[in-house]
Copies of this chain bind each other. A is one copy, B any other.
Amino acid sequence: MWDEALKLAGQDPDYHRKDLEEAITNGAYPKWKFGIQTIAEADLDKFEFDPLDATKLWPEEDFPVRYIGTMELNRVVDEYFPQTEQVAFCTSHVVPGIGFSDDPLLQGRNFSYFDTQLSRLGINWQELPINRPVCPFMNNNRDGQGRHTITKGTVNYWPNRFEATKPATVAEGAYYDYPMKVEGMKQRLLSKKFSEHFNQAQLFYNSLSDHEKWHTVKALAFELDHCDDEVVYNRMCERLADIDLELAQKVAELVGAPIPQKAGRPNHGKKAKNLSQMDFLPETPTIATRRVAIIIADGFDATAYYGVKAALAAAGALPFTIAPKRSPIKSSEGKEVKPDHNLEGQRSTMFDSIFVPGGAQSVETLRKNGRALHWVREAFGHLKAIGATGEAVSFIKDACALPAMTFSESGDVVESYGVVTASQTTPQSFKEKISMAADAKDFVDAYTFQISQHKNWKREMDGKFPDFTR
């Protein structure tokens, strides 16, 4: 959510870094499927866009992704500077079998990446442990500032009569350049297809889910709201009308530009897959690595607290206990818990969900705590799953104060726009073995399912809530 991002950038600018580190040290290694898209040289001119235009995407319908591996981050660095700050990527360093297309962006990068590494790290950047080739003998460089390697021997050239430093042949696996065919006039021009700017913009916009389209409207409106020059935002809205009329109209209204009355060009209506984040939901619901804040105060319901905490942990989520202070908090039965943080030390933005257990005294304390109230309202506004049991149900109800929502009033578990409540619970309500489902009868099953959905987009999109959530 944009509002979440705006705040988090100030509240914890390292949030994403910490997220990675937390996942890796907890053994939940981040993984990505590694796929490539290829095109036969002969087909290069067959498309309505130029495949060498780096601003264009290759629709997966026409260019299926071929998955060739998995990328997994499973170790953190020993020391930040030499192993992270000094990492040097270089597009011009490739292995045999990979060549360079005529993509002008790639060609430019082949020079600029190398130059960058030189000015960042010096001429011997390839000697640094983190950048060194796995095979230490592959680097024929000599000399230059900061040179560590001492190369014995009298020749560093080829051919030489000692047959020393003989380079590998192509037959032995050496790199060779692909002999591409070229024909035409050498001029400083771009392919004409580079000038077709709207087809793919339409394709992209059409392929988004409803809330992604809405986020696109809001993002454009946010940035253009900061522009004081009406020529700029008026023209921008005219250009948006070349993509999609509705998009342009919504943005224009928010930013104060004349509302376009007709599309600059018809929307071709085509979509492509895997352009919406919605195309990437996990096949079975999971809450692994989700950070859940459990908010308590003295007198909290220990049964609900321990029950939900254990269930979350068993499913791979990371429960954190948050209270008005980090000094020990007593449960209704007198048992003490030391919170992980106090309410002021963190913000709801840093968590994927919040759970508030019952306990009359605890809930009463939180109800009077402006910051606790804000945690609930902010998490609700950011479309996060919220869970509450016992006395906490009415706290959530009052905090949200939205007539469209329903809450549990008895032993039933009620799910309403991602908020899962159970007014009455027994120790049996909490179990470690969970079975997430949208319509689960069990509190833990229902609540964790909502967490697994990441965001409750309905809350934002079905029009029943104030504009806060819009």
Q: Which residues of A contact B (CB under 8 A)?
A: 5-11, 13, 78-79, 81-83, 85-86, 111, 115, 120-122, 124-125, 127-129, 142-152, 161, 176-177, 179-188, 218, 221-222, 225-226, 231, 252-256, 259, 324-328, 338-339, 341-347, 368-374, 381, 465-470
Q: Kindly identify which residue among B181, B186, B252, B469 contacts A370, using a CB–CB cutoff of 8 Å.
A: B469
B143 touches A222 (CB 8 A): no
Q: Is the CB of A187 within 8 A of B179?
A: yes
Q: Which residue of B lies closest to A123 (CB)?
A: B146
List the B residue with the shortest CB-CB distance to A4. Answer: B10
Choice from B10, B225, B373 contacting A344 with Cβ under 8 Å: B225
A256:B338 contact, CB within 8 angstroms: yes
**Are A467 and B231 in contact, with the CB atoms below 8 A?**
no
Q: Are A122 and B145 in contact (CB under 8 A)?
A: yes
Can you list 24 residue pairs at the A/B interface with Cβ under 8 Å? A9-B9, A10-B13, A78-B150, A78-B151, A79-B142, A122-B146, A124-B146, A128-B148, A129-B148, A179-B187, A180-B186, A181-B184, A181-B185, A181-B186, A182-B183, A182-B186, A222-B344, A225-B346, A256-B325, A368-B467, A369-B466, A369-B467, A370-B467, A370-B469
A147 and B325 contacting across the interface, CB-CB below 8 Å: no
CB-CB under 8 A for A151 and B79, given A146-B146, A161-B231, A218-B344: yes
**A182-B184 contact given A6-B10, A381-B370, CB 8 Å threshold:** yes
Query: Which chain B positions have C-beta within 8 A of A184?
Result: 181-183
Q: Is the CB of B145 within 8 A of A121?
A: yes
Residue of B nearest to A125 (CB): B146
